Structure 1
Amino acid sequence: MDVIVSRTRIAGCAPLYSYRALVPLEGVDPDRRHRVAVLHVQTATIRAACTRIADTIAPHRWFERDIAVSFGLAAQLGLAARRIEALLLQSVFPEMTTWLAPIALRLDHDPGSASHRVATIDLNAAFDAVVPRIDTLTAAELAPPRSIDRRAA
C-alpha cells in the first residue's frame, strides 16, 4: 500500500507548512471505498483521489455508525491516525519531530513544498492491530516487509 505524504507552504511571511499523509483510493479495500471521505489531491505529477488515514485504519464496526460505537472509538481512532501520519511524515521530512502530526508547523528555514509516495504495510482496518502498541509504534513497523526470496534480474 502507498501513502502520499506532503509538505505544503501556507501563504504568508513566516515559513509555515501544512503536513498531510493521505491514502490513494486505489489502495483502500474496495468494500470500504464507498464509505470513506474522498479528497482530491494535486501533486506535482498527478491528481489523485485519496482518503484520510483514519478512514483507512478504521475497524469495520466504525462504519456501522451505531452512535455508542462511534463515540467510543472516535478519540482512539483520531489518535491512532494522527500518530501513524506523524510517523510516515517523519520518515520523509526530517523537520517533522512532533509525536502527533500538527495542523501547521512553523519552521526556521524554508524547505519548500514537496510530496512523496511512501510504501507501507496494508493499513486497511488496521486499527485493532495498531492501537495496543501505538505508544511504541515506529516508522520501521509501518514499512512493508522486504522480500526474503531475492532473485537476480
Structure 2
Amino acid sequence: MADSKFVPGMSAEDLAAVIQNELASQWKQVLEENRAELESVFPELEDSTYGLYLDRLLPPIFGALEQAGYSGLGEVKDTDFIIGGCLNFSSSLEQWGPEHHRSRVFWIPVREEGRSEPVGTLLLDFFHSHAGFEVPEGPRITAIPAANRREIVAAVREWKEGA
C-alpha cells in the first residue's frame, strides 16, 4: 500500500473496509503474478501453498496497518504457524464448502497503541481448493466486537452458517 488509508482511532469496521478494498484490488493480480510458481509447488506442499500466496498478498496491507499503530498478532508461541505476517493458523477454522471451494476463516484481534481495550476482531475468509491449486474467489473480511476465543468462534460460526 503506497499511501496508507489507516489512521489512528479507526473502528474495527473501518479497518475491515480499508482492508477489503485492498484485498479486492490486489488478490487476482498477486495470484496471477505468482501462479506458475505456486502451481509448480502445489503437488509437494499441497495446502501450505496457500500460505505462500498469502505471504505475498497480506504483508503490504497489514504492514501499513501496523505502521499506523495497530497490532493484530498478539503473543506468538514457538509452536504457532504464522501466515502472511498476520494470520495465526491456530486462530482459524475450516469447515465450509466443497473440496474445490473450501473456506478457512482466520481471526485477528486488533489493538491500537495507547488504547486499553481491543479495537475488535477482524475475520478473514479465505477460499481455496483441495483438489488442485486454485483460489476460486477473493478473500473477504469483516469485523466483530468479540475479543475472546469462545466468542470469536461463535461469531465465526454465525457468520458462516447464518445461525
Q: State the TM-score, normalizing by the size of structure 1.
A: 0.31
Relative CO higher for 1 or 2, CA cutoff 8 Å, sep ≥ 6?
Answer: 1
- Greater helix share, structure number: 2
Bigger CA radius of gyration: 1
